[in-house]
Every structure is written in C-alpha cells, then in structure tokens.
C-alpha cells in the first residue's frame, strides 16, 4: 500500500486557505507537486514559497497529481472538483460544497460516478474535543442526543468588503454560507446526520452595508458598503425526522459578545464545547449517594484539525478507499439546510425538506 506522504498532491486555488493547506502539507512531509490559480501574482507567491510549479491551467496540474485540494472561491468549486473527479483524482473540497444547492447536487452526481472520491473540508470534526464527545456518544454515555445549540458568532468579523466573501454572486451568501456552514455541519455530526425535514430561518444584513460600520479589525481591504450584498447574520431552527433538533446562531457582526459554543443535550448527559478555545465540559447528574449534578472539565491534547483532516484524506487516497467521514452526501445535506434557511427567510415561513 502507498504511504500517505507519497501521494502526489496538488492545490487548486492558491490564496488564503489554499496557502494554509500547502503549509500544513509541507509541515507533515507530504508530496506537494504543484498548484494552480488563474491569478499570476498568486502563482508567483506560491512558487516562491513552496518551490513547486504553479500552473495557469488545471489540466497540467492534474497530470502531475494523484489527489487535489480545491480551495477556490465557492462559485468555482463545481468547475474544478468535477474536472478533477473526471480525471480520476481524489478530491478534498473546501466547505461549503458549492455556492448554490444546484451546483452542489452536480458535484455530488459527479462524485457518485467517479473512480476517485470527494471529501468535504469540514475540519472542525477533527478537533480532539469533538472526537471525545463522539466517543462518549458512541459508548452511550449521553443516552439519546436530542438537541444541539450551535453558535458561531463574531461581534465584529465581516471579511473585507469587496472581497469574494461579501459577493453573493461568487460566495452564494454571507455569514451563513461562510461560517454558519461549519456550525450546521458540526451540529448534524453530533446528531449522526439525521434526515432533516423542516427548517425555519431568518438571515439579516444589518452591518456590512453601513457607512458607519464600526470595527477594530477586518480581514482584507475594505471597499466599503458598496462591496457588500450578502447576509451578516442568521438564526434558524432545524427539525429532523427522528425528532432531534438544532438551534443555530451564526454571525459576522452582532451587538453581543462573540460565542463559539456548541451545547450537546442528551437524555443521560450533555456537553458544552467551545470551538474557539477548545474547552470541553461534560454535564451529568445522578442519585447515588444523594441527588447531584456534575460538571466535569475534559482536557485534551492540542491537536491541529486541518492537519488531521489532511491525514485522513491522504490515508484514504493511499489506500484507494473513500473515507467514511466528511462525505459528499453529508456535505449535500448541509447544503440543503443552508438553501432552506435562505428560502425560509425569503418567504417568512418554515420550509419542508421531506
């Protein structure tokens, strides 16, 4: 069997998270053979930093690869993921699956027909506290998990207005599809990805379009309100066929303290996981020796979720078998929820998915 580090890997989309992935690959000694980007400056920086070829055309990169990481803006996920799958490559596709549900469905169709596999980049699943929660759930410590409170809220964190993140045409949405997608995926992961039957949601654009948007830090250059036509917050309630539910709060900007807490509620125990700090607390109760409540702090190693995600991807590529985690079908389920939240907000009523 091929060693994971011997899998020839390329990256499509060389700015931002693409460069971050390249750094992680280099740190673990993986075989990074090149990158591709339509931007000449991005190609130049990538070649200078990593010492491998940077191509303008994806076909030249695919010829050198066994597997690719697709980290382009959302609108271009379909183009490069499907072409890589058609070329027989394994694909790690950054979240979300696509900028629209229709595009996501076409990616899923291509993945079903492909020789290789497509894995979706929901890296938070690989955080060590998350894996501890899943272990406790699997061994029955929580009983039946019935509800997850999913929060990914920044007080001020609108990306640079005028970047692709704040363009509905390129990103497909704003805070919901950028960071809310992580919260939805992690909540459904804690619930073992049940069949979602109803979604009620509201998206808002209250800050990014203001001349007087007050902030301390902003990622990227700020073009002002004319560079912003997406949502900057979303609230939603998600109901599954098995009766489990999710309450969601996602925001780039709000007038409240930021929070990254996920509260997992079960019939026998629960947990609070802070995605930002990595803190994990397990909540239990009992009657032995007297009625009592227990809040236990769980300390884990400081893991690297992106590195662990890459390792899973490369191990699967080396073995020639699709990983059983972060599947395209799970990514498609998350995309359907995102689409339903936007539709629910538009019509002002709950949307049925069954």
d(CA 337, CA 340) in angstroms, rounded, equals 5
The answer to whether position 324 is within a domain reads: no
| Domain endpoint, select from 124, 143, 178 | 124
Q: Report, as an integer, the average pLDDT of 217-239.
A: 95
The answer to whether position 322 is within a domain reads: no
* Claim to verify: residue 81 and residue 195 sit in the same structural domain: no
φ and ψ of 109, to 5 deg: -65, -40
DSSP state, residue 301: -
Question: What was the pLDDT predicted at 27?
Answer: 93
Question: What was the pLDDT predicted at 219?
Answer: 84
* Claim to verify: residue 200 and residue 225 sit in the same structural domain: yes
The answer to whether position 310 is within a domain reads: no
The answer to whether position 56 is within a domain reads: yes
Q: Report, as an integer, the average pLDDT of 240-264.
A: 98
Domain containing 284: what range? 125-305+335-352
* Claim to verify: residue 120 and residue 170 sit in the same structural domain: no
Tokens standing for 178?
A: 């950028």
The answer to whether position 172 is within a domain reads: yes
φ and ψ of 226, to 5 deg: -70, -15
* Claim to verify: residue 79 and residue 47 sit in the same structural domain: yes
The answer to whether position 224 is within a domain reads: yes
* Claim to verify: residue 129 and residue 240 sit in the same structural domain: yes
Cα distance from N-terminal residue to C-terminal residue, the chain: 43
Q: Report, as an integer, the average pLDDT of 289-300.
A: 98
| Domain endpoint, select from 124, 143, 172 | 124
**By percentage, how much of the chain surpasses pLDDT 70?**
100
φ and ψ of 34, to 5 deg: 165, 180
Q: Is the pLDDT of residue 332 over 70?
A: yes
Question: What was the pLDDT predicted at 32?
Answer: 97
Average pLDDT, the chain: 97
The answer to whether position 228 is within a domain reads: yes
Q: Report, as an integer, the average pLDDT of 265-282.
A: 98
The answer to whether position 25 is within a domain reads: yes
For the chain, what is the domain count? 2
Q: Report, as an integer, the average pLDDT of 172-194.
A: 98
* Claim to verify: residue 169 and residue 93 sit in the same structural domain: no
Is 0.85 topped by the overall pTM? yes
d(CA 351, CA 189) in angstroms, rounded, equals 21
Q: Is the pLDDT of residue 1 over 80?
A: no
Q: Is the pLDDT of residue 153 over 70?
A: yes
* Claim to verify: residue 54 and residue 131 sit in the same structural domain: no
| Domain endpoint, select from 70, 89, 124 | 124
**By percentage, how much of the chain surpasses pLDDT 90?**
97
Question: What was the pLDDT predicted at 220?
Answer: 85
Give 305's pLDDT tier (boundaries 50, 70, 90): very high
CATH number reported for the structural domain that contains residue 100 in this entry: 3.40.50.720
* Claim to verify: residue 146 and residue 56 sit in the same structural domain: no
Q: Is the pLDDT of residue 72 over 80?
A: yes
Region of poorest pLDDT, from 136-145, 156-165, 213-222: 213-222
Residue ranges with strand state E in the chain: 8-12, 31-36, 54-55, 67-70, 90-94, 118-121, 145-153, 196-204, 233-240, 245-251, 261-266, 269-274, 280-286, 292-298, 351-352
Q: Within 13 Å of residue 161, how many CA atoms lie on the same side as its CB?
A: 24
Question: What was the pLDDT predicted at 323?
Answer: 96
């Amino acid at each position: 069997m091929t060693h994971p580090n011997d899998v020839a890997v390329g990256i499509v989309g060389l700015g931002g998270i693409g460069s971050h992935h390249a750094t992680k690959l280099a740190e673990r000694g993986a075989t990074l053979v090149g990158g591709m980007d339509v931007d000449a400056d991005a190609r130049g920086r990538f070649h200078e930093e990593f010492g491998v070829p940077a191509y303008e055309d994806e076909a030249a990169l695919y010829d050198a690869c066994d597997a690719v990481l697709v980290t382009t803006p959302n609108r271009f996920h379909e183009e490069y993921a499907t072409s890589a799958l058609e070329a027989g490559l394994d694909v790690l596709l950054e979240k979300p699956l696509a900028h629209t549900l229709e595009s996501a469905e076409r990616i899923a169709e291509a993945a079903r027909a492909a020789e290789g596999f497509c894995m979706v980049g929901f890296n938070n699943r690989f955080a060590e506290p998350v894996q501890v929660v899943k272990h406790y759930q699997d061994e029955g410590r929580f009983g039946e998990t019935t509800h997850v409170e999913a929060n990914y809220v920044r007080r001020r964190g609108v990306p640079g207005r005028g970047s692709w993140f704040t363009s509905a045409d390129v990103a497909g949405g704003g805070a919901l599809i950028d960071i809310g997608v992580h919260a939805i995926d992690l909540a459904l992961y804690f619930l073992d990805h049940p069949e979602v039957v109803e979604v009620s949601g509201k998206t808002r654009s209250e800050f990014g379009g203001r001349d007087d948007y007050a902030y301390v830090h902003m990622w990227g250059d700020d073009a002002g309100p004319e560079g912003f036509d997406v949502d900057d917050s979303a609230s939603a309630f998600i109901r599954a066929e098995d009766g489990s539910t999710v309450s969601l709060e996602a925001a780039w900007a709000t007038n409240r303290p930021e929070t990254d807490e996920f509260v997992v509620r079960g019939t026998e125990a629960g947990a609070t996981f802070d995605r930002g700090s990595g803190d994990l607390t397990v909540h239990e109760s009992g009657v032995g020796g007297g009625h009592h409540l227990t809040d236990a702090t769980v300390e884990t190693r400081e893991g690297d979720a992106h590195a662990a995600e890459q390792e899973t991807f490369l191990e699967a590529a080396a073995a020639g078998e699709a990983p059983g985690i972060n599947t395209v079908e799970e990514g498609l389920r998350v995309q359907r929820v995102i689409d339903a939240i936007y539709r629910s907000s538009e019509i002002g009523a709950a949307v049925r998915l069954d």
